[in-house]
């Protein structure tokens, strides 16, 4: 099958391309990029991309698709639909499932399930410790051989410094990255939001920024000592970002990610009647959000992730202190970044393509992130001028809540191509197991 995208603005930071051109995809690969590409056969699907932006398919290295064992929250099909609806062609799912993904058999089985879903490419992240209990290292080597993209005990901080150091030393020869959930547990027990004036006014226990800062610094020092790679998950504090900045200057192999919610929302908007704002790490202060953006802009923070964390609606529909943390973000992430940062002149489209596609592919050694001829035809076509309003009830994810529900957006993915197949067009899923 051939697809010819005509007259779009192609942005490919890997090849320093930003210009109006055509793109031809054939047999699942990018066959040509240039001006006035023509095809003789009638089977080629020609799509007018005038006034649209053609980007490498977006990549999200931090999602929770809840398989195995938590399919009431999400599964590879519903999560895959949410991904391609948002312009994502590759996502990596965290291992805090039931059972925990801590062995090679599970990795292999989940990779098969992901292929059956037949939507976005789904990478599997394995656990660092068995059962994510922080007591014994999981067989990361076996999981790496089975195709695990990275390792994480996300949702849990590994309390033992010795265990963390052993993990860094073990994984180093495999050239894989450990993604660390950074939060010193004794400082956050019982906390439900950022510790500050708003938590005091609401009369609820907070989670102080220092808990994250201490954990980030510890793991940077341990990775530096071991000569290993460390990736800071969903960074949320100004001090933590500065720790990463200073470590990079020293040559530490540290990278970091940030979510749209930690860039745009603050603890001032926490309302105990709306559990959509309960996330972990919590929404922080305006100063933290501004510092995070500065770190994203100067390259301290390498990638943007969603931390897509759906829960069953009945789980979130309870008192704030008892509700689980998280909300689905795959269908709003790009739009939030376009609305609040591109259209305000704070980030260019090239910068967004770097943070949401090229950098994650480079850091985690994944296919994608580029529109180079010969690369897989994983493509997002974006209408940057499309005005729309986010409606959680219309999401493809199983969970119908979001702090962005009702937000007026400007910009959205209107076509998603995975491996040369159109899987989403104008908001409608056109491929996959449930097309």
CA 213 – CA 292 distance, rounded (Å): 13
Average pLDDT estimate for 311-327: 95
Q: Give the residue-averaged pLDDT of 240-267.
A: 98
Strands 206-207 and 178-180: unpaired
DSSP β-ladder status, 421-425 and 45-48: unpaired
Which stretch of DSSP H or E encloses residue 89?
strand 88-93
pLDDT by residue (tens digit) across 54-98?
Answer: 999 999 999 999 999 999 999 999 999 999 999 999 999 999 999
- Distance (Å, whole) CA 337 – CA 274: 23
- Residue of 347, 337, 344, 420 lying closest to 382 (CA atoms): 337
pLDDT interval class at 435 (50, 70, 90): very low
Q: Please tell me the predicted confidence (pLDDT) of residue 433.
A: 61
Interatomic CA distance for residues 52 and 10, integer angstroms: 9
Q: pLDDT tens for residues 355-400?
A: 999 999 999 999 999 999 999 999 999 999 999 999 999 999 999 9
- Rounded CA-CA distance 219/109 in Å is 31
CA 68/CA 122 separation, integer angstroms? 14
Give the up-direction half-sphere exposure of residue 274: CA atoms within 13 A in the CB hemisphere: 13
Distance between CA 152 and CA 97 in Å, rounded? 12
Q: Is the pLDDT of residue 434 over 60?
A: no
Q: What is the pTM of this model?
A: 0.97
3-state DSSP assignment of residue 180: strand
What tens digit of pLDDT does each residue of 216-238 get?
A: 999 999 999 999 999 999 999 99
Q: In the CATH hierarchy, which fold is given to the domain comprising 2-54+375-385+408-429?
A: Urease, subunit C; domain 1 (2.30.40)
- The answer to whether 151 and 125 have CB atoms below 8 angstroms apart is yes
Please give the CATH number for the structural domain made up of 57-363: 3.20.20.140
Domain ranges of the chain: 2-54+375-385+408-429, 57-363
DSSP conformational letter for 358: I
Distance between CA atoms of residues 326 and 276, nearest Å: 7
Q: Which residues face 380 on adjacent strands?
A: 55, 416
Asked if pLDDT for residue 13 goes beyond 70, the answer is yes
Q: CA–CA distance from 179 to each of 44, 107, 210 (Å)?
A: 42, 17, 19
Mean pLDDT of 407-430: 97
- What's the confidence (pLDDT) of residue 10? 98
- The residues pairing with 325 across neighbouring beta strands, listed in sequence order, are none
Rounded to whole angstroms, the Cα distance separating 346 from 60 reads: 21
Please provide the size of the chain in residues: 435
Provide the annotated active-site residues: 307
Q: Is 208 helix (H, G, I), strand (E, B) or coil?
A: coil
φ/ψ of residue 235, rounded to 5: -60, 140
Is the per-residue pLDDT at 428 higher than 70? Answer: yes
* Mean pLDDT of all residues in 43-63: 97
403 vs 237, 264, 279, CA distance in Å?
Answer: 20, 11, 10
**What is d(CA 259, CA 72) in angstroms, rounded to the nearest whole number?**
24
Segment 133-171, tens digit of pLDDT: 999 999 999 999 999 999 999 999 999 999 999 999 999
DSSP letters of 279-337?
-SSPP--HHHHHHHHHHHHTTSS-EE---B----HHHHSS-TTTSPS----TTTHHHHH
Whether the pLDDT of residue 40 is over 90: the answer is: no
Distance of alpha carbon 345 from alpha carbon 355, whole angstroms: 16
pLDDT at 431: 81
């Amino acid at each position: 099958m051939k697809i010819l995208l005509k007259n779009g603005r192609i942005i490919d930071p890997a090849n320093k391309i930003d210009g109006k051109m055509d793109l031809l995809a054939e047999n699942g690969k990018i066959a040509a990029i240039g001006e006035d590409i023509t095809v003789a056969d009638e089977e080629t699907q020609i799509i007018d991309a005038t006034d649209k932006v053609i980007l490498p398919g977006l990549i999200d290295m931090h999602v929770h698709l809840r398989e195995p064992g938590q399919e009431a929250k999400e599964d590879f099909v519903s999560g895959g639909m949410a991904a391609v609806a948002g312009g994502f062609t590759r996502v990596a799912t965290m291992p805090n499932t039931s059972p925990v993904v801590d062995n090679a058999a599970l990795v292999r089985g989940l990779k098969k399930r992901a292929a059956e879903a037949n939507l976005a490419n789904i990478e599997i992240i394995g656990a660092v410790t068995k059962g994510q209990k922080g007591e014994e290292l999981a067989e990361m080597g076996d999981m790496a051989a089975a195709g695990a993209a990275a390792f994480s005990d996300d949702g849990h901080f590994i309390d033992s410094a010795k265990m963390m150091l052993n993990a860094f030393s073990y994984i180093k020869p495999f050239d894989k990255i450990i993604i660390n959930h950074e939060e010193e547990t004794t400082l956050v027990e019982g906390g439900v939001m950022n510790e500050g004036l708003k938590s005091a006014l609401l009369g609820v226990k907070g989670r102080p920024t220092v808990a994250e800062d201490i954990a980030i610094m510890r793991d940077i020092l341990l990775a530096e000592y071991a000569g290993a790679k460390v990736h800071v998950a969903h960074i949320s504090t100004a001090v933590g970002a500065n720790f990463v900045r200073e470590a990079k200057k020293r040559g530490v192999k540290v990278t970091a990610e940030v979510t749209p919610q930690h860039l745009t929302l603050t603890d001032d908007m926490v309302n105990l009647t709306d559990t959509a704002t309960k996330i972990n790490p919590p929404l922080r202060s305006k100063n933290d959000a501004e510092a995070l953006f500065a770190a994203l802009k100067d390259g301290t923070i390498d990638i943007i992730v969603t931390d897509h964390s759906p829960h069953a609606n009945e789980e979130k529909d309870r008192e704030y202190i008892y509700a689980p943390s998280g909300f689905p973000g795959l269908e709003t992430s790009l739009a939030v970044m376009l609305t609040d940062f591109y259209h305000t002149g704070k980030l260019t489209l090239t910068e967004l393509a770097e943070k949401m596609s090229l950098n994650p592919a480079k850091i985690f050694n994944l296919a994608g992130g580029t529109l180079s001829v010969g690369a897989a035809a994983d493509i997002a076509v974006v209408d940057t001028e499309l005005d729309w309003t986010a409606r959680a009830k219309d999401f493809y994810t199983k969970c119908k809540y979001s702090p962005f529900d009702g937000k007026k957006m400007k910009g959205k993915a209107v076509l998603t191509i995975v491996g040369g197949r159109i899987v989403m067009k104008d908001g409608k899923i056109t491929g996959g197991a449930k097309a």
